[in-house]
Structure 1
Amino acid sequence: MTFQLMRLQPDSIALAAWATRHGVLSPDGDYGYALHGLLSAAFGEQTPKPFRYLGNKQGLLAYTSESLETLRLHASLATPDVARALGLNELDTRPFPSEWKEGQALGFEVRVRPVIRAKDGRERDAFLHAVDAISAVEGGGIAQRAVIYGDWLAKQFAVDEAAKIIQAQMEGFRLTRVLRKASTVENGKRKPLAVTGPDAVFKGQLQVGNPDAFVRLLARGVGRHRAFGFGMLLLKPALSC
């Protein structure tokens, strides 16, 4: 499997205008649903994912298996408002490693939505599931959340022995409302619905386990909501952490 790391520099004003016009800006200002729609409009079935929007200064990063030429060809067909919102004229990529050594140490950063599927099929905060619906204050607060979410993250890395965490810390946490398509249909369409859930950023060091499984983890992303700005595993040399 070959990788490219893609970068875009969305125009913050055009992005906000597009999201507002299409009714896809969450009550908390999260652009995940809007960027999902914009990327799909620009690239179709070749939509890069997972992706991470790092704000106006750092832009949007994504993993893709498509070549720069193919991506630019798709981007050239985008409408002016989509091209302006995403900054498609500045589309760029660089080759990203696709071969790793077992035991290799790497620094990482990842934004995740640590949720699990409940028995009724609905998503539930992994923290609330672990403490049986005790509130964050009564259940030990942010420190206990960090431990529980850290355990959840370790399990995601451990699938097919892809990687294990050497050390990690939760650098950021908040409860955010993000938009997802409602299960009910109104006027022939499923309207976006605001869903509240955990939004956490972890940084630390990992150790590569099974190299092939690790490549699949990078391509798939971590956890759920990977097509909406969560789960992209950003890597750096371990010594720079």
Structure 2
Amino acid sequence: MGESVPVSCPTCSRRHTFVVSVYPCACGAPVAPPLARDAPPQPITHRTWTDEWVMVRCAACGRQGHWPQPELGCPCGAVLRIPVRPVNPAGPPREPQESHEPQDTARVRPTLSRRPAAPRPSFHPLTIRTARDVVTAAALYLRWLGFHGIVQAEEQPASGIDLRGPEVVAQVDPTTSPASLRSVETLWLHGLSASAVSVFFSLAGYADDARARADDLGVPLFVMDLTGAPQPVNTPATELVSSGA
């Protein structure tokens, strides 16, 4: 678990305890952005690519890479950017800077099997009436694809990972807003950490930049309708349906 800091929302003054997410470096060591405890959180009113990422150095091997900017959602509706200490340019020689952005994904991303798929029976969808039904329908679909040991989170997890298995992690977005770029990238990082395939299901589809990034990262994207039948919306998803798990 990463370090925690007390956070006071500047909009409503609510107090929270924020725990930073930990991700694996290429060397295998856990890495988390170092929080700037003396700097106040800032409400996010406008997003840019630069603001979505922070530079972090691995203490074990000295590599530098881009990691998701820590954020906290307050019940009042404000989304707060948690300040991070900048990387100290001084220090011992290290390997060339390594980016965790999509350009480096060919080497590190979990790849989907392309072997011929074994015959599968027809998928029998679950009619969706509640947000919970969306998660259950996605779990059924992953099992139909051939993933085993799928475990469904009892409540909405802070990580955003609703479904897990030995070879897969999945996020299910039952809201009426298209899934965001950050959601896709964070899911991919969780899959990278678990050496698992990352799969995304959404009722409302995906923002254009989220879909483009999923193509770069090899994240299968599915949309669901109220019949509970997922439909692939990008090439990685089509390949997954064709090959199975």
Same structural fold, with TM-score higher than 0.5 when normalized by the shorter chain: no
Greater relative CO (CA pairs within 8 A, separation 6+): 1
Higher share in helix:
1
Scaled by the length of structure 2, what TM-score is found?
Answer: 0.28
